[in-house]
Amino acid sequence: MKLGRYEIVRELGKGAMGIVYLAKDPLIGRLVALKTIRPAVHGDDDETREFQQRFIREAQAAGILNHPAIVTVFDIGQDDSSGVSFIAMEYVEGQNLKEVLAQGRPLTFEQIGDIIGQIADALDFAHAKGIIHRDVKPANIILVDGFRAKIMDFGIAKIASGAVNLTTTGQFLGTPNYMAPEQIKGAPVDGRTDIFALGICLYECLTRHKPFGGDSLTSISYKIVHEPFPPLREINPQIPEGFEDVAGRCLAKDPTKRYQRARDLANALRAVIRGEKPAVAEPMQVEETIVTRDHDKIPTVEVPFPEAVEAEEPPGLQTKASAATAPPVAGAAPAAAGVPARPRPQIAAQLKKTLSGVRAMPLWKRPIHTVAFFAIIGVLVVGLLAAVDSIQRRKVPARAVDVKAEALRAQQRTLRNQANALIREGRVNDAYAKFQELSKIAPASPAVAQMLQKLGAIRQQEEVSRQQVVQAKQKFDEGVGLFNQKKYAESIPLFQQAFDLNPNSDETAAYLKLAQHAQEISEQEKAARVASAPRRVATDTASRTASAARTSNSAARTAAVVTPAQLTTIFNSTVNDGYIMVKAGGQVVAHENLWQESGRFFKRKIPRNVSVTKELTPANMDIEIWVVIPSLNIQEHKIIKQNFLPGAARKLIVSFDPQSKKFDYQVN
């Protein structure tokens, strides 16, 4: 499949505008990510045209940005055969910040500050180019090569220099949880809007909670506009104090009280990482956040001064006739030729004379009738009362606090925190019981239903494992009974079944080898008896013993001469649960967890890289691989045939793609 000149490799996912593909540019052999757009089938022409214009605007906005922390846009085009428009951009391998937070991967405070600081530098660069992102969120922040961050998807960015504003019809663009108050209210936005959204990302990374949560768009929007966020150190007292100051400044309701430049936010974060107190920049600095390319002059508003005796005017309030005689201003054009500038003392004298003349006007000395005076006073009082009544009517009444609803929400938070703590301790059954209680209180919560489904799958897998251990024990006991009766041939299948059900039992593996060895000796003895002459019956037992000894010594000499082979199992884990097991010719060569515990005070599971080497007897054998990941509901089984020569050192490399949930196996 091709789009334009690009050859499609595979689908990467679906975005807000269409499908995203991994493609290859045949001209230079470079892999790119293609973001596509297809006109809506049921939309009218205006909607289709507006959506296409927004799509093109993304390329124009991001195409002029060349920064290490911004995903680069290479090309824009349209496929002639299908009519699909596309943008070719830099292909970045990594996980977005939303996935990292959802997986519970640990991030140190220094790493969080560095990641947000990199994005702040990228936004400052974009703001200097006149571009506002307007959809800053963890899903648009990619982590590559460890903790190097890149921001992507300028799909609803606003080009401050001009172009058609496609949001004038009141469309609600962006993600509600990460919107600034002015964005929700439909007010003009600038770079400080992105700083507010980045502050929410910082808060979420530090606490794993959103500062403004809610069950509906209305609830979230109200909290963003009106309510403060929960303090960071109330959620986690170990968060350094400097982060509290930085988050508070980013999440100020008033844009003038936030950081005025994203680079100020980056500098503050780096100061906190160094253990210093972040510098407090004065709001509304002279250098503005947005650089506009419109340089049209603003028309001058001319305010005429009340006419006096000689029509003099004070400085700063000039008529058209007196503008030419005003004193020169720095940066202004020179006065017209032949018209001398008026000295400042003369202007002051004329101003004083004018004000004296105004006071001397006979209008101020005219008496007012008593009835007219009280009528004027009455009108003023009535107008004042009407204004007060209008203000009272417009005043928004205070929301009544629903005590029962607040208590119910507090109970939900308590149960959720207890369940998450039990999950971190590995107590799946107890956590499942807590989520069951929570589902009774909040039956419509999709997050609770999803957690119940995941925990149920884990419990089911554990139950299956327990049943397998019980069955393995039964088979083992039956095999031991037959082994003690010297019924080796009948005990071997029972030991093999027990080992398949519970490969971790060293006792089962030992009995299986003993039974197989005893069966071989028994068969050798039987063959010797058949071949022996009648006269050698008396010495049959001694002969069998000597033959078995010679066979054993010969096998030992052969084993000493033959150099064993080696198999190294490598698995770079990206998950924090599950295990991998590898058998080579029926022998277990690897049985390792894909996770390990980290932390001194708060234990948590983190991904673990597996690398295990095992010696094998050279032979042509099957390699069996099992990978079990309960959280992703994965039970992978693969068989690879491989010939191991004496002294050969092989590597089995197992790779896993979390997005496609596909495995790749290589033996080299």
Report the catalytic residues: 135
DSSP 426-452: T-HHHHHHHHHHHHHH-TT-HHHHHHH
Structural tokens at position 2: 């091709």
Handedness of CA 235, 236, 242, 243 (dihedral sign): negative
The sign of the dihedral angle between the CA atoms of 269, 274, 275, 277 is negative
Find, among 469, 502, 467, 497, the residue nearest to 482 by Cα: 497
Q: Return the SS3 of 352.
A: helix
What does the alpha-carbon distance between residue 24 and residue 7 come to, in Å, rounded to a whole number?
Answer: 5
3-state secondary structure of 164: coil
Residue with tokens 């999709």: 446
Give the C-alpha separation, 453 to 461, whole Å.
12
The 10 Å Cβ neighbour count of residue 418 is 16
Q: Tell me the longest C-alpha to C-alpha distance in the chain.
A: 161
Q: Is residue 86 classed as helix, strand or coil in its secondary structure?
A: strand
The rounded distance, in Å, linking the Cα atoms of 499 and 495 is 6
Residue for token pair 């925190």: 417
Contact (CB, 8 A) for 475 and 498: yes
The DSSP element (H or E) to which 598 belongs, if any, is: strand 595-598
Sole residue written with tokens 């990619």: 142
Distance CA 476, CA 443 (A): 46
Q: What is the DSSP letter of 166?
A: T
* 71 contacts: CB under 8 Å, gap ≥ 6: 62, 89, 90, 92, 142, 150, 151, 152, 153
The answer to whether the CB of 559 falls within 8 A of the CB of 641 is: no
Q: Are the CB atoms for 266 and 121 separated by under 8 Å? A: yes
Task: Report the Cα–Cα distance between both ends of the chain, in Å, rounded.
Answer: 32
Are the C-beta atoms of 91 and 33 separated by less than 8 Å?
A: yes
Quote the CA–CA distance of 568 and 610 in Å, as a whole number.
Answer: 10
d(CA 70, CA 68): 6
Backbone conformation region of residue 338, classed left if phi is above 0, alpha if psi is from -120 to 50, else beta: left
Q: Which residues contact 235 (CB under 8 A, 6 or more apart)?
A: 207, 209
Please state whether beta strands 565-572 and 649-657 pair in parallel, antiparallel, or not at all (unpaired): parallel
Read off the amino acid at residue 154: F
